[in-house]
Homo-oligomer: A and B are copies of this chain.
């Protein structure tokens, strides 16, 4: 019953510094992490662009995991998108040290004919114009999730608003939700986004977990406790990929399946955080994933309300 997931996003080479170390030339990008995570559950169709410097082994690795690369353009003598960042001590905040768009500057995602019937689509964080272009190319009725970032909220608000009004699920971190709505109250800020049209907002809160908010429901899940982590880069993309990969596997967007999808997204993100680059995500197994699901169930369990505990006071 599993459907393929269409993912449109960056393939990049990153230089990263965290409180736990520093590593250069890590293959990454939102499309890369999301594809690996989604591929744990469903086949993936990837759309992106790389330069000649992108390691062929990284593309072969994706292909070996069932990722269709027909939509990945390799620009001859082009240079891949590069990002350099440094995380703060608490790792929920980071500074971008350098961004080189390179081949990404002229990226214009054209979907191969065979991708256009995709029923599950993830538009990773790219220019809203490009997200709109993809929306124009897919068949009606697909379940579409999108991510974005502060840069587009500031500089491309109108186009971004159009994107949000045309997708089913908006993924943003909590700071971006507040920023977009101009409201420090997450509940009210999410309502502002829901009023544009999407059925759900998934609020990514890094180490504090994630929330899934709709007009009449709400779901919260903590992150997986990790005794060891090195680098959160790609965690949000892995979250989105795991979430969409599971939905496509279940071929359902019922609220109950969406909650399970948030759990699998959380688990994918947890592996990504364990190492610089996607190493831990790449080497995980179904058993290790199910074990973390059980952990999430255990750490969120509590008893029904003892309805005789309160005194009447005052």
Given the interface pairs A178-B89, A205-B208, A229-B185, the reply to whether A313 lies near B66 with Cβ below 8 Å is yes
User: Shortest beta-carbon distance, A311 to chain B, in Å?
Assistant: 6
Residues facing B in A31-81 (CB within 8 A) are 39-42, 61, 64-66
- The answer to whether B293 and A297 touch across the interface, beta carbons within 8 angstroms, is no
A283 adjacent to chain B (CB < 8 Å):
yes
- Tell me, in angstroms, the Cα distance from A158 to B220 when the chains sit together: 38
- A184 to B299, Cβ gap below 8 A? no
Task: List chain B residues, Cβ under 8 A from A112.
Answer: none
Give the contacts of A167-201 with B (CB-CB under 8 A).
174-175, 178, 184-188
- Complex Cα–Cα for A39 and B310 (A): 9
Q: How far is the CA of A263 from the CA of B305 in the complex (A)?
A: 9
Residues of chain A from 276 to 314 with CB closer than 8 A to chain B in the complex: 282-283, 285-286, 289-290, 293-294, 296-307, 309-314
A207 interface residue per 8 A CB criterion: yes
Q: Choose among B209, B219, B228 the residue that contacts A220 (Cβ–Cβ < 8 A).
A: B209
Interfacial residues of chain A within 88-111, with CB under 8 A of chain B in the complex:
89-91
In the complex, the answer to whether B314 meets A64 with C-beta atoms within 8 Å is: yes
Contact A290 B305 (CB under 8 A): yes
Q: Is A140 an interface residue (CB 8 A)?
A: no
Interchain CB contact under 8 A, A220 and B218: no
A-side interface size class: 35 or more
Q: Please state if B307 and A290 are interface contacts (CB–CB under 8 Å).
A: yes
Copies held by the complex = 2
Q: Are B302 and A260 in contact (CB under 8 A)?
A: yes
Given known pairs A218-B299, A250-B309, the reply for A226 and B260 (CB within 8 Å) is: no
Q: Does any Cβ of B come within 8 Å of A82's Cβ?
A: no
Q: Verify B313–A260 contact, CB threshold 8 A.
A: no
- CB of A164 to closest CB in B, whole Å: 21
In contact, B309 and A185 (Cβ under 8 angstroms): no
Most buried by B among A64, A259, A262, A299: A299
- Known interface pairs A208-B209, A222-B220, A313-B65. Does A305 touch B297 (Cβ–Cβ under 8 Å)? yes
**Most chain B beta-carbon neighbours within 10 Å: one of A40, A185, A304, A309:** A309
Specify the chain B residue showing the minimal Cβ separation from A211.
B222
